[in-house]
Amino acid sequence: MHEPGSPTSGSLGARVPARRRRELLRRLLAMAGGLGLGTGRAADESPPVAGSTPGPRRKLAIALGSGGAHGVAHLGVMRAFESRGLRPDLIVGTSAGAIVGALWAAGLDAAQVEREGARFGLFDAMRPAWPTLGLASNEGLQRALRELLPARPIEALPIPFAAVATDLADGRRVLIDRGDAPSAVAASACMPVIFRPVEREGRRLVDGALVEPVPVRSARALGGVHVVAIDIAFRPADEPVAHALDAAFQMVHILVNALIDEQIGEADVPVRLQLHPLMRGRAEYAAVLADAAERAVEQVWPRIVG
């Protein structure tokens, strides 16, 4: 496990005890992207939603949402599709959804993604980055994906794929569906403050959950006709609010859920999961979350194929 370097005077580390600092990092990282891997189209070629050019019509599109440590639930979505022999025509992911989505689009199956996700942890991918725009670099995420993806340009992936990121300068959505895949996913899962922004073609990109936590609209913009949306987000009621840091996290959860409430209704098949209670009291929860997601997809399967 790698933690950022020694705190300097006036830094976060100087004000917060080490144990609390580690907890802060864990919780922020959990919001950033669950499996610790990261993937992309050149940023200046990725117009925001309002300016996107519709792509070819793709009948079945899967929109995999953000959710940090809940990201392992997306493995259950993969399993449900694999067991029925159905391959999506398009996969779009935000944050943790971009991580899993890129590997799915590359042709890995759920068992492979689970195995490789265990090999590359978020903490193992962190590198000190003070005093830049983030506490740590996520270049390790990109290195992990470079090992895992057989084809690194997004255009070469067997299933069409896109990752959603946010332009830090103007807050606009950046839809990345071509170019270097590892840097695109790293941008989509780049939690501000914790991770240094990912630079692509002159833009500084951060977590797509800030603008589109469940990328339904992006899937439509890329030609998705029948959109299945998977929402695995943290909910405001998932954790008690006892300290100022808790209030900061709560603010993010409230804003993200407000965006989801507004956007997910545009999906043809919305799947909303309440996952956090399943994690309580469990040191190992990946299988439980994946099973819950698989069952949820099975329940709506007639609507997916109908």
Catalytic residues: 95, 207
CA 128 vs CA 2, 96, 211, 282: distances in Å: 9, 22, 27, 30
In angstroms, the CA 79 to CA 74 distance is: 9
- 298 φ, ψ (degrees, to nearest 5): -60, -40
For the beta carbon of residue 164, count every other beta carbon within 10 angstroms: 35
- 232 φ, ψ (degrees, to nearest 5): -120, 20
Whether the ω angle into residue 17 lies within 30 degrees of 0, i.e. cis, is no
Q: CA angle 172-265-301, nearest 5°?
A: 120
